[in-house]
Amino acid sequence: MNQHEFNHYMVAILNGMENKVGEDATGSTMKQHSRWAYKECVKLFKDYDGNIKRWLNGRPCIIRNNDTQRIIEVEIGNDLEALYYFLIFCFKRNNHQKINDDFLNYLAYIISRSTNKSWDEC
């Protein structure tokens, strides 16, 4: 899944969460799309630690050490790009794929940017 597709899925998820409509057809359909998009993201990223749900609930995401199972919390701000690359990082780690230094540097940058209160994206 590329970042553009991920953003569409997350918009569907967020719309379903924010939908205050009762059980009318629009609200019900929106919630169904939200649940479907969430399940697809979990499946595609193999998000077994529940980082998407953690992020949606405003909680820190986690990285689990493969050897010791020690958990490290990572605060990711309100930035879909930072969440996307964090999920890719977790996917690669969990599947024992090589992660290059450029990727790690960019991930550190966007996570830092996402939590910086003075950062103002247009």
- What are the residue ranges of helices labelled H in the chain? 3-18, 25-45, 51-56, 80-94, 101-115
Query: The pTM is what?
Result: 0.87
Dig out the tokens for 12 from the structure: 């569907």
Closest CA to 79 of 46, 55, 108: 55
pLDDT of 34 strictly over 50: yes
Helix 80-94 with 3-18: angle, nearest 10 deg = 110
Tell me, what's the pLDDT at 26? 61
Q: Give the residue extent of every domain in the chain.
A: 1-45, 48-122
What b/e string do you get for 25-42 counting C-beta neighbours within 10 Å, with b at 16 or more? eeeeebbebbeebbeebb
Question: How do residues 36-66 score in pLDDT, each as one tens digit?
Answer: 999 999 999 999 999 999 999 999 999 988 7
Taking the C-alpha atoms of residue 92 and residue 99, their distance in angstroms, rounded to an integer, is: 7
Question: How do residues 3-20 score in pLDDT, each as one tens digit?
Answer: 999 999 999 999 888 765
